[in-house]
Structure 1
Amino acid sequence: MASTSLIPREVSFVHFEALFTDPNRPYLRWFANTLMISTVVTLGQILCSALAAYAFSRFRFSGRRIGLLSLLLIQMFPQFLAVVALYLMFTAIGEVIPQFGLNTLLGYGLLLMGGALSQVWLIKGFFDSVPKELDEAAIMDGAGHATVFFRVIFPLITPILAVTGLLSFIGVLGEFVLASIFLTDNDVKTLAVGLYATIDADRSGNLGVFAAGALLTSLPVVLLFQFLQKFITGGLTAGAVKG
């Protein structure tokens, strides 16, 4: 049912009830799948990007400039250019390891981890602003590179990690092109694919259900932003000391 008025005249939760009671529309399952994939992939991407950014920022090695330019060049190409190759690759992987093949959340998560270094440039720029004297002081005290990264530098880059984490989470949450190809079974769909199938089946009849599902989909992003906001603000003001 669609309204012709911009301002609704009645308040009803019938679409929310239809969203959770239809057995052919396992919204809670889609919601859980999306949250699990988004959380795991976001953490993996941030960790890999931060480690790579630390190496590119602090070390000088052969191929460093070419590596940075290669990462920038790869990000200029859209994902769907590699869809056919990825589909054939995961079809072959599924024949050997079914848990990582098509229509599996593990396989889809592994696919998204292919972009684990997508935040390197952004994090590296923040790393470059952190004084290298902190690294040198920690190394003189006997700290190794792992200790310097996790105990000295890591707390100082909390703002950029919060920002890149939020961007990665939103990107994975709304990813549709690859998910629509690799996740076709109803039980392994994500919210983007499931809600699209809902409105594609009957646009006039399921429009209210789609709107209700889309509204609930935005809640994780809002809650995550509210949670990360204190880390962004606290990290930016942590160095504001009186000289």
Structure 2
Amino acid sequence: MAIVTDKSKRWRVIAAHLSLIALLVVTLFPFLVILSISLRPGNFASGSLIPPEISFEHWRLALGMSYQGPSGELIEPDFPVLRWLWNSVKVALMTAGVTLLLSTTAAYAFSRMKFRFKSQALTALMLLQMFPAVLALVAIYAIFDVIGTYVPWLGIDSHFSLVLAYAGGIALHVWTIKGYYDTIPVEIEEAAKVDGATPWQAFLYVLLPMAVPILMVVFLLAFIGAIIEYPVASILLKEQNNLTLAVGSKLFLYEQKYLWGDFAAAAILSGLPITVVFLLAQKWMISGLTSGGVKG
């Protein structure tokens, strides 16, 4: 028997599809503009979306390769973009790892343990998260400047100090993971303890595997937040070879000369690690959700 769809429902389906297409166009349009600028000869921000002439000069410089200019001169790259990209990935991976370690253990304490002032501590964490890190830039610089006199590898112009500064923003992740822990029955861990598991083993081998989806979400958020962060990195990193890509890209836009094409190529490169990590983490998120939904 054929199913007849009424006309109003068909129009709703068409409207939904058109809305999704419009949202996709609005989302992709800034990326297409940046891609167009990176493929134009010269460093000009204005022009048509489809460049009349395709040039890879900006991409060569971004990838550390030289090329011959219009007059036959050899043009060398001015900035180590690939090194900045590696610095960004390194800092983001370390930040995501430290954030995951601290937030999972802290969330377990708030979710499963009983101690005094627990609710007040959770409220304080949320209140502290309301203030952006920009308001504490002077304090962050002063703290790490003093620490650097005693522990040089945790002072100014160190990636480890940057990771430590980023690790201070785990309050929201603690709340997120705690909420997920609260949905997992405590009886599962108690059953593991009856079988002889220690509290640490119950946490590591029972609770964490069931929380893989939310752990991947927190890892992604911490990774993306660290790789695109600018204010804190701009005050803690000084030497050119130690800069992250977000901070180093600012050097393309100095007074009297804006290298928009080089800046656009570097901006697109900065999005590649986020895309790769998201695709890899998405795979683990799906496997965690499906394995957690099977009894047995």
Equivalents in 1 of 2:114, 2:145: separation in Å?
40
Corresponding residue for residue 82 of structure 2: 28
The answer to whether the aligner puts 1:213 opposite 2:266 as a matched pair is yes
1:4 to 38, 47, 50: 47
Distance 2:113 2:289 in 1: 25
Aligned to 2:288: 235
- Among the aligned pairs, what percent are the same residue? 41
Aligned to 1:17: 60
Aligned to 1:82: 136
Off by >6 Å, runs of 4+ in structure 1 = none
Query: What is residue 52 of structure 1 aligned with on the other side?
Result: 106
Partner residue, 1:170: 224
Measure, in 1, the Cα distance between the counterparts of 2:59 and 2:250. 16
Alignment-mate amino acid for residue 57 of structure 2: V
Kept in 2, the 8 Å contact 1:45–1:118? The answer is no
Once residues 141 and 224 of structure 2 are traced to their aligned partners in structure 1, the CA distance between those partners, rounded to angstroms, is 24
How many aligned residue pairs are there? 242
Name the counterpart of 1:155: 209
The one of 97, 121, 136 aligned to 1:67: 121
Q: For structure 1, list consecutive stretches of 5 or more residues without a partner in the other structure.
A: none
1:101-156 deviation line (CA, Å, top 9, x unaligned): 11122222222222244400011111111111111101111111110111001111
Alignment check: 8 A CA contact 1:44 1:116 kept: no
Amino acid of the residue matched to residue 229 of structure 1? Q
Cα 1:160–1:5 shift into 2, 3 Å? same
Q: Which range is displaced more, 81-90 or 233-242?
A: 233-242
User: 1:83: how far off?
Assistant: 1.3
**What is the SS of the residue equivalent to 2:104?**
helix
Measure, in 2, the Cα distance between the counterparts of 1:6 and 1:114: 42
- Is the 1:48–1:117 contact (alpha carbons within 8 Å) kept by the matching residues of 2? no
Match for residue 150 of structure 2?
96
Normalised to the residue count of structure 2, the TM-score between the two structures is 0.77
- TM-score scaled by structure 1? 0.93
Do residues 128 (structure 1) and 150 (structure 2) align?
Answer: no
Residue deviations 1:167-222 (CA, integer Å, cap 9, x gap): 11000001100111111211111000000121235654x11111111111101111
Deviations 1:58-114 (CA, angstroms, capped at 9, x unpaired): 112111111111110110011122111121111111222222211122222222222
Residues 45 and 117, structure 1, Cα contact 8 Å, conserved in 2: no
Q: Taking structure 1 as reference, are residues 91 and 127 closer, same or farther at Cα in structure 2, changes over 3 Å only?
A: same
Provide the C-alpha distance between the structure 1 equivalents of 2:77 and 2:235, rounded to a whole number of angstroms.
23
- Look up the equivalent residue of 1:120 and give its one-letter code: V
In the alignment, the residues of structure 2 paired with residue 177 and residue 108 of structure 1 have an alpha-carbon distance, to the nearest angstrom, of 11
Q: Does 1:225 align with 2:268?
A: no
Please report how far the alpha carbon of residue 9 of structure 1 lies from its aligned counterpart in structure 2 after TM superposition: 2.6
Indicate the structure (1 or 2) with the bigger Cα radius of gyration.
2
Instruction: Tell me the distance in 2 between the aligned counterparts of 1:136 and 1:107.
Output: 39
Q: Which amino acid aligns with 1:232?
A: M
Q: Partners in 2 of 1:110 and 1:231 — Cα distance?
A: 27
Taking the TM superposition and a 5 Å limit, the aligned residue runs for 1:189-200 are: 189-200=243-254
CA contact (8 A) 1:16 1:212 kept: yes
